[in-house]
């Protein structure tokens, strides 16, 4: 190590001063997705061509199209994101944002951006991170660990059903998962816009994925900015898989869980206690 | 001039009561007073908790009233934050844990003041699940469930911000986490009274904040251990 010359010290001082000035849109910001590095400068071009009409020039979700759109486009200045692998209240990873952009958001105007190259998408992610100072002051959360999935059994499904009752999932999602629980109609997002709970009987994709792992992640991390809270403090990993198995039985899909459930129900339906407020028959 | 003698006497008394060689924490000036309203405020409405039978039963005798504008006798305004917004701020104390209760499907207290990084424990005292959803913007927004019998949630807020808090399961549940960098604050009681104590001599700007009626400020100069009395009057708008 060579002692710093006065000039070097001066330069590093200026660099520190500049970096302390705070966030400025357009300042170099990167995203890292696997081996890909996204650059905000390139991302700005992608954004201004494909994203700006909904998300707006300032990234605050008030682009020209926004008034016609429900649910509203994401406001990137808040840095609050639904689909994360990280705990509630933390920033998502770059991969989380990349996956969300790639997947699109079912039942919204946000399409799956598969026509854009991986590089384009990585660049756009780097650019949307320039809209909030949080990306400069905070680090993304540590992704939750998801243990490997045990096979679904009737025991795991029944235990998952108990959790659905105990954790009061039915308060919003409804006793049969139809999205019609007692609190469903009053739900609003963090901008006070009405938002419906997921209706399992549609069998549609989830906003944050399609797999059992995605489903696990959804209720363990919560969907920040929405009424869906994180259950990470309340549900143990093994129990979480049981809940996943039960939730699959609420969808009209041909899943292994649904098959196990149907054959068990055929001879045991009368043994089930109803889901809902204690003491009320469904 | 009698004042210096009185001040001296007051200081001596304080020093005595506080014990040898230690300045009493309450030494210094005081700004106290009352928050009131003029005009017609919105009525405090009874909250219908029928959708949560557990909480409805708890309040069967006397329903809980809305707290966004809480009034008391003599036009008093409750739940108004009064704090030093400019002037000698002093050091914020961050060690003592503050407690927030969810009890009978209400946040207790409705207005909770915290210092940056002060530990906060959130309890669910109800036989029903809650989710705590602080709608922070400067600090990170989060949303966590707290089922029946779950241990307290440990939290803290790093940056000063007035954060509305809600429970999505019980949409009437509404409260505030007010994160303040100054240790000089008070929340007005049912009688609208507040008191800021232990203020070193100096010039202060005192701000009163009411969640619906906004803010008011007054400049106050404190010398010695004097007590200054100020009043904040908010113009109430019915809706």
Interface contact A182, partner B, CB < 8 A: yes
Q: Kindly tell me the burial class for residue B161, based on how many C-beta atoms sit within 10 Å of its own C-beta (0-12, 13-18, 19 or more).
A: middle
Of A88, A168, A188, the CB nearest to B142: A88
pLDDT tens digits for A223-278?
999 999 999 999 999 899 999 999 999 999 999 999 999 999 999 999 999 999 87
ipTM of model: 0.87
Q: Identify all chain A residues contacting B171, using CB atoms and an 8 Å cutoff.
A: 183, 186-188
Longest CA–CA span in chain A (Å) reads: 85
Count of positions (residues) in chain A: 282
Residue in A89, A167, A186 closest to B140 by CB: A89
d(Cα A79, Cα A277) in Å, to the nearest integer?
36
> Do the chains contact at B168 and A183, CB–CB below 8 Å?
yes
How much is the pLDDT for A279? 58
Q: Which fold has domain A29-137?
A: Cytochrome Bc1 Complex; Chain D, domain 2 (1.10.760)
**B147 vs A138, A187, A234: nearest CB:** A234
pLDDT tens for residues B42-88? 889 999 999 999 999 999 999 999 999 999 999 999 999 999 999 87
State the nearest Cα–Cα gap between B11 and chain A, in angstroms.
Answer: 45
Q: How far apart are CA A80 and CA A73, in angstroms?
A: 12
Q: Using an 8 Å Cβ cutoff, are A71 and A187 in contact?
A: no
Which of A208, A231, A253, A226 has its CA nearest to residue A97? A208
A57: its two tokens? 């020039």
The domain limits of chain A are 29-137, 154-271
Nearest to residue B190, comparing CAs of B105, B80, B101? B80
Q: How far is B166 from chain A (nearest CA, A)?
A: 10
A103-159 pLDDT, tens digit per residue, is 999 999 999 999 999 999 999 999 999 999 999 999 999 999 999 999 999 999 999
pLDDT for B127-160, tens place per residue? Answer: 999 999 999 999 999 999 999 999 999 999 999 9
The CATH T-level fold of domain A154-271 is Cytochrome Bc1 Complex; Chain D, domain 2 (1.10.760)
For a pLDDT cut of 70, what percent of chain B falls above it? 89
CB–CB of A80 and B132 under 8 A?
Answer: no
Higher-confidence residue of A1 and B107: namely B107
Q: Cβ of B141 and A230 within 8 Å?
A: no
Question: pLDDT at residue A282 above 70?
Answer: no
Rounded Cα distance between A246 and A236, Å, is 15
Please indicate whether, in this complex, the C-beta atoms of A233 and B153 are within 8 angstroms of each other: yes
SS3 category, A240: helix
A29-137 and A154-271 share one CATH topology?
yes
Task: Give how far B139 is from chain A: nearest CA, Å.
Answer: 9
The pLDDT assigned to A20 comes to 44
Assign A256 to helix, strand or coil: helix
Residue A238, Cβ density class (10 Å: 0-12 exposed, 13-18 middle, ≥19 buried):
exposed
Closest Cα partner for B208 from B239, B227, B235? B235
| Inter-chain touch B143–A166, beta carbons under 8 Å | no
Per the CB < 8 A criterion, the answer to whether B32 and B227 are in contact is yes
Alpha-carbon distance of B118 to B98, in angstroms, equals 7
DSSP state of B128: S
Q: How many CB pairs under 8 A join A and B?
A: 81
Contact check, Cβ <8 Å, B141/A80: yes
B120-124 and B185-187 as β-strands: parallel, antiparallel, unpaired? Answer: unpaired
CB < 8 Å from B in window 107-166 of A:
134, 138, 166
A79 near A225, Cβ under 8 Å?
no
Contact B142/A89, CB-based, under 8 Å?
yes
- What is the Cα–Cα distance from A92 to A89, expressed in whole angstroms? 9
Contacts of A27 (CB under 8 A, 6+ apart): A40, A130
Domain extents in chain B:
27-236
CA-based Rg of chain A, rounded to a whole angstrom?
22
CATH class of B27-236: mainly beta
A35: Cα separation from own chain's centroid: 23
What pLDDT score does A16 carry? Answer: 46
């Amino acid at each position: 190590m060579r002692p710093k010359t006065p000039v070097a010290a001066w330069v590093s001082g200026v660099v520190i001063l500049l970096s302390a000035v705070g966030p400025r849109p357009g300042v170099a910001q990167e995203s890292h997705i696997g081996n890909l590095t996204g650059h905000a400068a390139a991302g700005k071009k992608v954004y201004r061509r494909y994203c700006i009409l909904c998300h707006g020039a300032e990234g605050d979700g008030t682009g020209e199209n926004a008034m016609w759109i429900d649910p509203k486009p994401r406001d990137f200045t808040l840095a609050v994101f639904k689909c994360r692998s990280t705990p509630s209240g933390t920033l998502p990873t770059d991969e989380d944002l990349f996956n969300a952009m790639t997947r699109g958001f079912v039942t919204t105007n946000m399409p799956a951006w598969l026509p854009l190259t991986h590089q384009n998408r990585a660049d756009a992610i780097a650019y949307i991170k320039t809209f909030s100072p949080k990306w400069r002051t905070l680090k993304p959360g540590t992704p939750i660990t998801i243990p490997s999935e045990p096979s679904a059994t009737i025991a795991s499904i029944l235990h998952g059903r108990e959790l659905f009752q105990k954790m009061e999932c039915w308060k919003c999602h409804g006793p049969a998962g139809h999205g019609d629980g007692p609190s469903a109609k009053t739900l609003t997002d963090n901008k006070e816009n009405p938002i419906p709970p997921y209706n399992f009987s549609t069998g549609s994709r989830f906003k944050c994925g399609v797999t059992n792992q995605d489903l696990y992640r959804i209720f363990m991390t919560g969907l920040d900015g929405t009424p869906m809270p994180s259950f990470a403090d309340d549900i143990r990993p093994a129990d979480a898989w049981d809940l996943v198995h039960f939730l699959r039985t609420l969808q009209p899909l041909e899943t292994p869980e649904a098959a196990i459930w149907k054959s068990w129900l055929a001879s045991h339906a009368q043994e089930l206690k109803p889901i809902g407020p204690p003491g009320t028959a469904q | 001039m009698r004042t210096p003698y009185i001040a001296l006497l007051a200081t001596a008394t304080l020093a005595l009561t506080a014990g040898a060689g230690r300045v009493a924490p309450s030494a210094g000036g005081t700004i106290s007073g009352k928050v009131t309203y003029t005009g017609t405020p919105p009525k405090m409405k009874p909250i219908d908790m029928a959708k949560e039978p557990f909480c409805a039963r708890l309040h069967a005798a006397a329903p809980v009233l809305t707290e966004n504008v809480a009034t008391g006798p003599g036009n008093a305004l409750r739940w108004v934050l009064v704090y030093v917004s400019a002037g000698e701020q002093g050091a914020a104390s961050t060690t003592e844990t503050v407690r927030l209760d969810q009890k009978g499907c209400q946040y207790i207290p409705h207005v909770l003041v915290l210092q940056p990084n002060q530990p906060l424990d959130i309890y669910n005292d109800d036989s029903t699940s809650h989710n705590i959803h602080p709608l922070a913007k400067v600090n990170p927004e989060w949303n966590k469930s707290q089922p029946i019998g779950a241990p307290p949630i440990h939290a803290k807020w790093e940056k000063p911000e007035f954060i509305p808090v809600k429970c999505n399961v019980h949409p009437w549940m509404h409260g505030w986490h007010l994160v303040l960098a100054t240790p000089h604050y008070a929340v007005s009681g049912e009688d609208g009274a507040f008191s800021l104590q232990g203020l070193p001599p100096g010039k202060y700007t005192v701000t009163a904040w009411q969640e619906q009626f906004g803010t008011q400020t007054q400049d106050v100069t404190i010398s010695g251990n004097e007590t200054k009395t100020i009043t904040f009057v908010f113009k109430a708008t019915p809706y």
